[in-house]
A and B are shown apart, each in its own frame.
Chain A
Amino acid sequence: MDFLATTETMIAAWHGITPPNDAARRMAADLANTIRAFEAARDQMRFEDEPSSFEAALQETKE
């Protein structure tokens, strides 16, 4: 099964949503680029990292 078909199947199974139009299919297919972008950034996340660190970073890096 190709990437787009797999993606459509997964979205239908997990969310009950089908592609509303061709543009949606094209944007879903473009998620392959998102995967490549995440692959390029892979392994930067450390075991202790968590989302709340952002608010702390805002304070830490302010003027």
Chain B
Amino acid sequence: MSTLADLSLVEAADAVARREATSAELLAACLARLDAVNPQINATIWVDREAAHEAAAAADKAVQAGARLGRLHGVPLAHKDMYYQAGRPCTCGSAIRRDFVPTVTCTVIERLAAAGAYSFAGLNMAEFAQNPTGHNRAFGDCHNPWSLPYITGGSSSGSGAAVACAATYASLGSDTGGSIRLPASACGVTGIKPTQTRVSRYGVMPLSFSADNVGPLARSARDCARILSVIAGHDPRDPTSAREPVADYEAALDGDLRGLRVGVPTNALVTLADAPVLVAFEAALSVLAARGATIVRLELPLMDAITAYVGVLSRVEAAAIHARWMRERPQDYAVHLSARLYAGYAVPGAYYVEALAQRGPILKRFARDVFGQCDVLASPTIPTCLPTLAETDIDHGPPGTEQKFMAVSVNTRPFNYLGLPTTSQPCGFDPNGLPIGLQLAGRPFAEARVLKLADAYQRDTSWHTLRPPAVVGEAPMVTA
């Protein structure tokens, strides 16, 4: 049954501004949807109903008083549980930080609040944001709402599942190797990893300071554009954040793809695709071509080096961050996480510096060879049909499970090394009924362009409007 929860983020914000709905009604709809689906999907770590009702009441009071409203006024949101909010729990999905309560609030939550939004829940996630599947030993695995035995993608697992079920209008995720795009792909929603340095990371749990990114998962490219317009921009508290001006990303969504060139790799990313994924991907290209885009087949340079270097960067930085806990309480990590961290301690410093130092030259070569021929690069977000939680469970699976686990993020990691803005949006379903994602990458700071393509695609397709079976009540979800 469709409810206020099924409005898009933009529709919900506009409904509050036009006094067609109250924030209290939006919140009630989201909480009702969450209560209906969460026992199956396990998308939350905590829910703060009392504070949310107070925030909704305050938002509605401001509307009644005729106050000037922000672009997200009265919109309830729930985020991956790694965004610090003073006085609220922030578990980072971990047993180690189960009782952590930060004393500061991160910049992106402050910016969302300044635009009128408020948070009502901390969402499930991979432990310390370090798996591409959605496994979580401390709080329970997050389950894919399209079919419970399958992975949600990670690490922003609860974000993908909750947005897919319309239990929140959007959610902040984080992306170090694909953690926004993978759950967006696996759960059938839209997400964008912005350009490295585009969004402040102050007050956000660190994983890899060279590759961490903050960005939204939402129901559509337009919804992502609105969130990104609010959170992007330089932050004095994060000296690594770029001073590049922030575009009005929503204003760029005009549906016109004439003159735009969409690159399709002939030697990587697409070549890894399973047949059903390839069929959906080629169909998506046809939609873009019908809107006026030109499809250009091209070779990607230096992919072996990129793959080698990106693996070293995040692994070494994560190992350094976790060294004390790895010495003092390694048993409190999931097996898959402590195993990955452990290998990071053996990588020589010279390798790490080489990986960092090669990033600039490789980006320049990639931009010259690829973006000299196309404006946006397309590929499947996850090249294979989606695996199950059991098939990728390193903690309980046989030797060799590591390869299946790592294969999930093979198409997303390169874009973290290159720092490029990259989206994922749904473009079909595999034979098991799990969503397939289309990944679009652009030049640095070309968020407006990749969102424009994503939005144009969604004008002619309906994949992003579909809801999982449990939400629409069509058929029971398969239980593990």
Does A51 contact B359, Cβ atoms closer than 8 Å? yes
Q: Which residues of A contact B357 (CB under 8 A)?
A: 45, 49-51, 53
Determine if A7 and B446 form an interchain contact, defined as CB atoms under 8 angstroms apart. Answer: no
Which parts of A10-63 form the interface with B (CB within 8 Å)?
A: 10-11, 14-17, 19-24, 26-28, 30-31, 34, 37-38, 40-41, 44-46, 49-63
With A23-B339, A23-B402 in contact, do A17 and B312 touch (Cβ < 8 Å)?
no
Q: How many residues of A contact B (CB 8 A)?
A: 41
Q: Is the CB of A38 within 8 A of B444?
A: no
Of B307, B338, B343, B347, chain A has the most CB atoms within 10 Å of the CB of B343
Residue in B closest to A14 when the chains form the complex, CB atoms: B345
The CA of A1 and the CA of B363, in the complex, are separated in Å by 39
With A37-B308, A62-B445 in contact, is A31–B364 under 8 Å at CB? no
Q: Which residue of B lies closest to A11 (CB)?
A: B345
Q: Is B308's CB under 8 angstroms from A41's CB?
A: yes
> Is B305 a contact partner of A41 (Cβ separation < 8 A)?
yes
Contacts of B474 in A (CB 8 A): none
Tell me whether B226 is interfacial, beta carbon within 8 Å: no
Q: Given the known inter-chain contacts A26-B399, A27-B340, A31-B347, please indicate yes or no for A20 contacting B330, CB distance below 8 A.
A: yes
B353 within 8 A of A: yes
Q: Which of A24, A37, A46, A56 contacts B342 (CB 8 A)?
A: A24
- Chain B contacts of A11 at CB under 8 A? 342, 345-346
Which of A16, A24, A57 lies in contact with B361, CB distance below 8 A? A57
Q: CA separation between A57 and B347, bound complex, in Å?
A: 26
The interface residues of chain B lying within 8 Å CB-to-CB of A40 are 304-305, 308
Given contacts A11-B345, A37-B304, A63-B443, contact A58 B363 (CB under 8 A): yes
Least CB distance, A16 to chain B, in whole angstroms:
5
**Among B305, B342, B444, which residue has the most Cβ atoms of chain A within 10 A?**
B342
CB distance from A27 to the nearest CB of B (A): 4
Are A63 and B360 in touch, CB under 8 angstroms?
no
Q: Given the complex, which residues of A lie within 8 Å of B449, measured CB to CB?
A: 63
Are A19 and B342 in touch, CB under 8 angstroms? yes
Known: A53-B361, A61-B363, A61-B444. A38 touches B308 (CB 8 A): yes
Q: Which residues from chain A contact B353 at a C-beta distance below 8 Å? A: 51
Contact A17 B419 (CB under 8 A): no
Query: When the two chains form their complex, are residues B331 and A49 in contact, meaning their CB atoms are under 8 A apart?
Result: no
Q: Mark B339-359, 1 if CB is under 8 A from A, else 0.
A: 110110111000101101111
Q: Quick one: which of A23, A27, A55 has the most chain B CB within 10 A?
A: A23
A45:B354 contact, CB within 8 angstroms: yes
Which chain A positions have C-beta within 8 A of B37? Answer: none
Label chain B's interface by main secondary structure: helix
B333: contacting residue among A20, A57, A60, CB under 8 A: A20
Query: Chain B residues near A54 (CB, 8 Å)?
Result: 196, 356, 359-360, 363, 419
Question: A35: nearest residue on chain B (CB-CB)?
Answer: B351
> What separation, in Å, do the CA atoms of A37 and B311 have in the docked complex?
11
Could you say which residues of chain B place their CB within 8 Å of the CB of A30?
Answer: 343, 402
- In the bound complex, residues from chain B placing their C-beta under 8 Å from that of A28 are 342-343, 346
Given known A49-B358, A62-B244, contact A20–B343 (CB-CB < 8 A): no
Report the Cα distance A14→B348, complex, angstroms: 11
Q: Which residues of A contact B342 (CB under 8 A)?
A: 11, 17, 19-20, 24, 27-28
The listed residue (A26, A44, A51) touching B402 by CB distance below 8 A is A26
Interface presence of B208 (CB below 8 A): no
What residues of chain B lie closer than 8 Å to A49, measured between beta carbons? Answer: 357-358, 360-361
| B96 contacts A by Cβ under 8 Å | no
- Give the CA-CA distance A29 to B343 in the complex, in Å: 8
Q: A10-B346, A11-B346, A31-B347 are in contact. Are A59 and B358 (CB under 8 A)?
A: no
Contact residues in B for A26 (Cβ distance below 8 Å): 339, 399, 402
Query: Which residues of B from 175 to 234 have beta carbons under 8 Å from A?
Result: 195-197
Question: Measured between alpha carbons, how far is A10 from B446 in the docked complex, in Å?
Answer: 44
- Which residues from A are CB-within-8-Å of B346? 7, 10-11, 28, 31
Residue pair A24, B360 in contact (C-beta under 8 Å)? no
Q: Is B327 an interface residue (CB 8 A)?
A: yes
A-B contact pairs, 7 of them (CB 8 A): A20-B339, A21-B339, A37-B305, A49-B360, A51-B356, A58-B196, A58-B444
> What 12 new A-B contacts, CB under 8 Å, besides A34-B308, A44-B361, A57-B361?
A11-B345, A23-B394, A26-B399, A28-B343, A34-B311, A34-B351, A37-B305, A41-B309, A51-B360, A54-B356, A54-B419, A63-B444
A-B pairs, 3 with minimum CB distance: A53-B360, A37-B308, A61-B367
